[in-house]
Amino acid sequence: MLILGIDTSCDDTAAAVVENGSKIISNIVSSQTDIHKKYGGIVPELASRRHIELILPVVDEALKGAGAGLEDVSAVAVCHGPGLIGSLLIGCSFAKALCFSKNIPLLAVNHLEGHMFSCFLKEGSLAGETEFPPRIPEFPFISLIASGGHTSLYRVDGFGKYRELGRTRDDAAGEAYDKVSKLLGLGYPGGPVIDKLASEGNPKAIDFPRPYLPDSFDFSFSGLKTAVLHYLRAEEQKSAPPQPPLGKGGIEGGVFSELLNFCSTALIKNIAASFQACMVDVLVRKTEWALKKEGLRRITLSGGVSANSELRKRMKEMGDERETEVFIPSINLCTDNAAMIASAGYHHFLNKDFAEIDLNPKACLPL
Residues at the contact surface with ligand KG4, assessed by CB under 6 A = 10, 147-149, 174, 177-178, 189-192, 195, 303-305, 307-308, 335-336
CB neighbour list of residue 232: distance below 8 Å, 6 or more residues apart = 183, 184, 256, 263, 271
**Rounded distance, CA 178 to CA 218, Å?**
20
Residue 26 or 335: the one with the smaller Cβ distance to ligand KG4 is 335
Give me the least distance between CB of 195 and ligand KG4, in Å please. Answer: 4
H or E stretch including 7?
Answer: strand 2-7
DSSP 299: E
Give me the least distance between CB of 330 and ligand KG4, in Å please. Answer: 13
Give me the least distance between CB of 7 and Zn ion, in Å please. Answer: 8
Report the DSSP pairing between strands 12-19 and 23-31.
antiparallel
Does residue 247 contact residue 176 with C-beta atoms inside 8 Å? no
Query: Phi then psi for 292, rounded to 5 degrees?
Result: -65, -50
| From the list Zn ion, ligand KG4, none, partner contacted by residue 178 (C-beta under 5 to 8 A by kind) | ligand KG4
| From the list Zn ion, ligand KG4, none, partner contacted by residue 7 (C-beta under 5 to 8 A by kind) | none
| From the list Zn ion, ligand KG4, none, partner contacted by residue 263 (C-beta under 5 to 8 A by kind) | none
**Per-residue mark of binding to Zn ion, 301-340 (x: CB under 5 A):** -----------------------------------x----
147 part of the interface to Zn ion, by CB under 5 A: yes
**Rounded distance, CA 57 to CA 228, Å?**
42
Residue 236 or 336: the one with the smaller Cβ distance to Zn ion is 336
Give me the least distance between CB of 336 and ligand KG4, in Å please. Answer: 4
Give me the least distance between CB of 328 and ligand KG4, in Å please. Answer: 12
How many CA within 13 A on the CB side of residue 216? 11
Does residue 114 contact residue 343 with C-beta atoms inside 8 Å? yes
**Rounded distance, CA 120 to CA 122, Å?**
7
Rg (CA), the chain: 21
Residue 99 or 194: the one with the smaller Cβ distance to ligand KG4 is 194
**Rounded distance, CA 170 to CA 219, Å?**
8
Instruction: Number of residues interacting with Zn ion: please give it, by CB under 5 A.
Output: 2
Residue 190 or 345: the one with the smaller Cβ distance to ligand KG4 is 190
Letter for the amino acid at 89?
Answer: L
Residue 147 or 270: the one with the smaller Cβ distance to Zn ion is 147
Give me the least distance between CB of 36 and ligand KG4, in Å please. Answer: 11
Binding site for Zn ion (CB under 5 A): 147, 336
